[in-house]
Amino acid sequence: MTDSLTGGGSTGGSLVGRNLLAGAEDDPAGDAGHTGHPPRVGFFTDTSVCIGCKACEVACKEWNAIPEDGLDLTGMSYDNSQGLGASTWRHVAFIEQSKPLGHAHADVDHSGTDVLALAAEIPTGSAAAQPHAAGAPDAPGPPEADGRTELRWLMSSDVCKHCTHAACLDVCPTGSLFRTEFGTVVVQEDICNGCGYCVPACPYGVIEQRPHDGRAFKCTMCYDRLGAGQEPACAKACPTDSIQFGPLDELRERAEARVTQLREAGVSDARLYGHDPDDGVGGDGAFFLLLDDPEVYGLPPDPVVTTRDLPDMWRHAGAAALALLGGLAAVFAAHGRSTATTRRFRR
Amino acid sequence: MSGDADAHRGQGEDVRHNGHRPYGEIYEDPARLRRDGSISDVTKDGVRGERPGRAALVGGHDLTGGRGERGAAGSGGRHRGGRAGRKRRKGEQPMVPEAEFTSYYGRPVLNQPAWKAQNIAGYFFLGGLAGAGSVLAAGAELTGRPVMARALKVSSAASIAGSAAALIHDLGRPGRFVNMLRVFKPTSPMSVGSWLLAAYGPAAGTAGLCAASGRLPRLGRTASVGAALLGPAVAAYTAVLASDTAVPAWHDGYRELPFVFVGSAAAAASGAALLASPLAENGPARTAALAGTALENAAVKTMERRLGLVAEVYREGGGGRWMRAAEALSAAGAAGAALLAGRSRVAAGVSGAALLAASACTRLGVFQAGMASSKDPKYTVVPQRERLRAREREQQQSRAGARHGASDGEEARD
């Protein structure tokens, strides 16, 4: 990385033909020096089946022994953890919207339906219940007067994206953050000196310094479990398989199939986020299927790894430093040698 | 706690946390209580108008049906544009049309660094003062201005020591400072800076000690030349340190920020020179003060133009206040340096102090502006959204252009 930095292009970020700072990259673990490493793994979080149970949050806290960091009633729907941070490595977002979800008729007027009467009509005993015409509304009823009957509840379990080009890793001055053989990004807590540079570098607002500890913490994708051939705790705990863990290539294929399926089912909002190896961070190791714009979930719509522009930054800083040196030299040259006599004479 | 709901008027949130009120009060008309302000405006749909940081809502549509936010239920989003009309400063046209955007309950997209203003802005200021000071000191020595040279060597040594102390003090684990020198990483401006300080610090320190004690003049001369060559890098690299983050006000200004910083550093070092040198020697310091101030202010203006929407944080709030103070102080300092500092020792000292203060204000302003831009999701979401839209438009146009040759109608509509 050292010797190739100088030749970087400012926009493409290709460093002597190799995409070390930005752009598509097939093998981040290999570029970090791992040989004979396992395939890159990741998360595919399919938010369309998330039920907001927070089992992932709990499993993550328990497995990784993360300290308690506040149990707040935030007023943000059912969200108690507010966002990712030093002690929140999985965060379930809850969004309430007045929009239908696909073909679902959320605005059906059930006010005329007497459920007790319907229940009484169902034959008891072994006879199978017949679908009742009165129970199936044939047409969506009119929305109520205040227009608030359509509601969809979006839930999404957010996590560290384990970027292909991870800004936190690039800017870490101690080498505490490193790329594992699985292509994930992990903090070595015995090396971190709490400089906090990774915190503003992350374009997703994931990593954070833990108060009273000082060091930076974030999701490790359960590095210890991966090493033992197990899936991360959150994916293991997810009851709906909203969090899917596996080799990244496989997950990307599965995600494409899922988004096609949803669109065919009428969920036109469905889109993938972070799956594209050509995006600003070279694709995420943890990517998502979302049902609305990313910013609705608190995700940046077009994140770019800050180090993409680093060669250009060094060039500008170099120019500025030379300007300072040259400028001050010119000032002294213009004023010439000071001799007490000339000075006194001028006075 | 009293039975009368009116007693709670104006107390707002306090009442919400009180779970021991008499039943009669709980079952009063909640809408009326909210209107009175006697209970918190928290409904089952969330918080209304309680927390300024959470004003932007999800969904991207005004789901209150234009009925305003108070008392209107629904999970909807509020357009940002409604509020900005009031916030705008008098007699000033908005540079950028007010942006509409959505966010997750107004929560920031980015995490804010735990950096303390006095540490990091102080580090920027002292690093600049030391770096540019070493260059001025070498120039003064080479052109026969011994008092100025000695003063600046000492001030550079003291500043760089203070700057390193501020940096170490800001670490979450100060005892592990040496881990900074575990690796050399050009992708990490902080690593580069640590090594730079490791080289520059001893050079500036030696130069300062030799100048103060008057011993080992040859070593002192070598050290001051070394410090003068490394000094500009010390003054400029801190701009990369700030820019190489996802903070919009820092990253998007990465082209101009190094020039802001070296300009500010030159002004600060000239200020120190004006404070410490006799009139017979301060000619170059006066010129350097003018040049540094001019460069700094020109770079700030260019940066603000480039930043567009994000430039707000350099004009408003805490960042804006510091930047305005810096502008006023540097104007006063530069004017004093140019017009009076050649004739009056007192005027030279006052101008020098003003220039030093201006530089400190600039660093604080840049720091606070960056913090403000990372706290508000607007500055993350809106520019990225615009970038996406521009890219989509480009793709559409190139596709349309490929199909129809020239399609003027579409472009005109855009």
Q: How far is CA A57 from CA A80, A146, A233, B200, in A?
A: 11, 36, 9, 47
pLDDT of B49 strictly over 70: no
Residues whose CB falls within 8 Å of the CB of residue A35, separated by 6 or more in sequence, listed in order: none
**Can you give the residue range of the structural domain that contains B27?**
5-79
Structural domain includes residue B352: yes
Q: How far is CA A302 from CA A204, A293, B107, B186, in A?
A: 10, 11, 17, 26
Measured between CA atoms, the residue of chain A closest to residue B240 is A313
Q: How far is CA B387 from CA A21, A280, B260, B412, in A?
A: 20, 12, 26, 20
- Percent of the residues in chain A that have a pLDDT greater than 90, as a whole number: 67
| Residue B49 falls in which region: left (phi positive, over 0), alpha (psi -120 to 50) or beta | left
Which one of B187, B261, B384, B387 would you mutate to disrupt binding with A, by most A Cβ within 10 Å of its Cβ?
B187
User: Which chain B residues contact residue A216 at CB under 8 A?
Assistant: 172
Instruction: Match 């030379």 to its residue by tokens.
Output: A322
Per-residue pLDDT at B266? 98
Interface check for B113 against chain A (CB to CB < 8 A): the answer is: yes
Per-residue pLDDT at A130? 44
Per DSSP, the three-state class of A32 is coil
pLDDT of B75 strictly over 60: no
pLDDT of B171 strictly over 50: yes
- Considering only the beta carbons, identify the residue of A1, A205, A334 that sits closest to B110: A205
Q: Which amino acid, A9?
A: G
Structural domain includes residue B128: yes
Beta bridge partners of A272: A289
Tens digits of residue pLDDT in A283-327: 999 999 999 999 999 999 999 999 999 999 999 999 999 999 999
Across the interface, whether the CB atoms of A293 and B103 are under 8 A apart is answered no
Per-residue pLDDT at B207? 97
B339 shares a domain with B225? yes
Mean of all residue pLDDT scores within chain B: 81
- Rounded distance, CA A159 to CA A179, Å? 17
Across the interface, whether the CB atoms of B114 and A196 are under 8 A apart is answered yes
- Rounded distance, CA B362 to CA B358, Å? 6
Stretch A35-53: mean pLDDT: 96
* Cβ contact B114:A199 at 8 Å: yes
Stretch B1-22: mean pLDDT: 40
Across the interface, whether the CB atoms of A313 and B232 are under 8 A apart is answered no
Closest of A82, A261, A253, A268 to residue A158, by C-alpha:
A82
- Considering only the beta carbons, identify the residue of B112, B190, B255 that sits closest to A197: B190
Q: What HEC string does B156-179 produce?
A: HHHHHHHHHHHHHHHCCCHHHHHH
Stretch B128-151: mean pLDDT: 96
Per-residue pLDDT at A339? 65
Stretch B21-30: mean pLDDT: 44
Q: How far is CA A156 from CA A48, A76, A291, B221, in A?
A: 8, 14, 10, 63
Confidence of residue A24 (pLDDT cuts 50, 70, 90): confident
B347 shares a domain with B204? yes
Start-to-end CA span in chain B (Å)? 60
**What are φ and ψ of residue A208, in 5° steps?**
-155, 155
- Considering only the beta carbons, identify the residue of A77, A206, A320 that sits closest to B236: A320
Higher pLDDT, B234 or A6: B234
User: How many structural domains is chain B composed of?
Assistant: 2
CA A334 to chain CA centroid, Å, is 55
Measured between CA atoms, the residue of chain B closest to residue A3 is B186
In B92-111, the residues whose Cβ lies within 8 Å of chain A are: 101-105, 107-111
Interface check for A212 against chain B (CB to CB < 8 A): the answer is: no
Instruction: Match 């398989």 to its residue by tokens.
Output: A241
Confidence of residue B409 (pLDDT cuts 50, 70, 90): very low
Across the interface, whether the CB atoms of B262 and A213 are under 8 A apart is answered no
Across the interface, whether the CB atoms of A325 and B135 are under 8 A apart is answered yes
Per DSSP, the three-state class of B42 is strand
B139 shares a domain with B40? no
- Rounded distance, CA A268 to CA B353, Å? 63
Tokens of A327: 């400028």
Candidate from A172-181, B18-27, B188-197 with smallest mean pLDDT: B18-27
Per-residue pLDDT at B72? 29
B310 shares a domain with B227? yes
* Cβ contact B250:B370 at 8 Å: yes
For β-strands B42-43 and A90-97, DSSP reports them as unpaired
B57 shares a domain with B188? no
Structural domain includes residue B87: no
Tokens of A164: 């292909």
Confidence of residue A22 (pLDDT cuts 50, 70, 90): confident
B368 shares a domain with B249? yes
Structural domain includes residue B111: no
Signed CA dihedral, B295, B296, B299, B301: sign only: negative
Structural domain includes residue B162: yes
Confidence of residue B4 (pLDDT cuts 50, 70, 90): very low
Beta bridge partners of A95: A154
Stretch B103-117: mean pLDDT: 94
Mean of all residue pLDDT scores within chain A: 85
B265 shares a domain with B129? yes
Distance from CA of A123 to the nearest CA of B (A): 39
Taking one residue from A and the other from B, the number of pairs with CB-CB distance under 8 angstroms is 324
* Cβ contact B385:B248 at 8 Å: no
Confidence of residue A19 (pLDDT cuts 50, 70, 90): low
B223 shares a domain with B138? yes
Per-residue pLDDT at B35? 54
Across the interface, whether the CB atoms of A98 and B283 are under 8 A apart is answered no
Across the interface, whether the CB atoms of B111 and A84 are under 8 A apart is answered yes
Structural domain includes residue B255: yes
Residues whose CB falls within 8 Å of the CB of residue B94, separated by 6 or more in sequence, listed in order: B84, B88
- Rounded distance, CA B281 to CA B266, Å? 17
Across the interface, whether the CB atoms of A98 and B280 are under 8 A apart is answered no
Higher pLDDT, A209 or A133: A209
Beta bridge partners of B62: B77
Which one of B40, B58, B394 would you mutate to disrupt binding with A, by most A Cβ within 10 Å of its Cβ?
B58
- Rounded distance, CA A7 to CA A10, Å? 10
Measured between CA atoms, the residue of chain A closest to residue B371 is A200
- Rounded distance, CA A325 to CA B291, Å? 12
Tokens of B404: 């129809």
* Cβ contact A217:A210 at 8 Å: yes
Across the interface, whether the CB atoms of B262 and A321 are under 8 A apart is answered yes
Tokens of B230: 């490394």
B327 shares a domain with B245? yes
- Rounded distance, CA B165 to CA B310, Å? 32
For β-strands A41-46 and A286-290, DSSP reports them as parallel
Tens digits of residue pLDDT in B294-335: 999 999 999 999 999 999 999 999 999 999 999 999 999 999
For β-strands A41-46 and A216-217, DSSP reports them as unpaired
B364 shares a domain with B299? yes
Q: What angle do CA B184, B190, B191 make, to 5 degrees?
A: 10
User: Which chain B residues contact residue A174 at CB under 8 A?
Assistant: 176, 179-180, 182-183, 191
Q: Could you tell me the pTM of the whole model?
A: 0.80
Interface check for B14 against chain A (CB to CB < 8 A): the answer is: no
Structural domain includes residue B270: yes
* Cβ contact B267:B285 at 8 Å: no
Stretch B173-200: mean pLDDT: 95
- Rounded distance, CA B369 to CA B248, Å? 9
Stretch B3-17: mean pLDDT: 40
Across the interface, whether the CB atoms of B384 and A214 are under 8 A apart is answered no
Tokens of A1: 């990385």
Stretch A190-212: mean pLDDT: 96
Across the interface, whether the CB atoms of B104 and A95 are under 8 A apart is answered yes
Q: What HEC string does B65-121 produce?
A: CCCCCCCCCCCCECCCHHHHHHHCCCCCCCCCCCCCCCCCCCCCCCCCCCCCHHHHH
Interface check for B229 against chain A (CB to CB < 8 A): the answer is: yes
Tens digits of residue pLDDT in B328-376: 999 999 999 999 999 999 999 999 999 999 999 999 999 999 999 999 9
Tens digits of residue pLDDT in B378-396: 999 999 999 999 999 999 9
Residues whose CB falls within 8 Å of the CB of residue B234, separated by 6 or more in sequence, listed in order: B127, B128, B130, B131, B160, B193, B196, B197, B200
Across the interface, whether the CB atoms of A151 and B288 are under 8 A apart is answered no
Residues whose CB falls within 8 Å of the CB of residue B107, separated by 6 or more in sequence, listed in order: A76, A82, A83, A298, B53, B54, B377
Tens digits of residue pLDDT in B273-289: 999 999 999 999 999 99
Closest of A207, A225, A203 to residue A216, by C-alpha:
A207
Signed CA dihedral, A113, A115, A120, A121: sign only: positive
- Considering only the beta carbons, identify the residue of B58, B184, B191 that sits closest to A97: B58
Tens digits of residue pLDDT in A209-249: 999 999 999 999 999 999 999 999 999 999 999 999 999 99
Per-residue pLDDT at B286? 96
Measured between CA atoms, the residue of chain B closest to residue A335 is B284
* Cβ contact A170:B188 at 8 Å: yes
Q: What HEC string does A120-160 produce?
A: HHCCCCCCCCCCCCCCCCCCCCCCCCCCCCCCEEEEEEEEC
Check which CATH number belongs to the domain holding B369 and give it.
Answer: 1.20.1630.10
User: Which chain B residues contact residue A276 at CB under 8 A?
Assistant: none
- Rounded distance, CA B155 to CA B127, Å? 11
* Cβ contact B183:A174 at 8 Å: yes
Instruction: Match 């707000």 to its residue by tokens.
Output: B312
Element holding A208 (H helix, E strand): strand A208-209
B170 shares a domain with B75? no
Tens digits of residue pLDDT in A259-282: 999 999 888 889 999 999 999 999
- Rounded distance, CA B200 to CA B233, Å? 9
Across the interface, whether the CB atoms of B42 and A75 are under 8 A apart is answered yes
Across the interface, whether the CB atoms of B60 and A296 are under 8 A apart is answered yes
Structural domain includes residue B277: yes
Per-residue pLDDT at B7? 41
- Rounded distance, CA A24 to CA A279, Å? 8
B219 shares a domain with B134? yes
Per-residue pLDDT at A143? 47
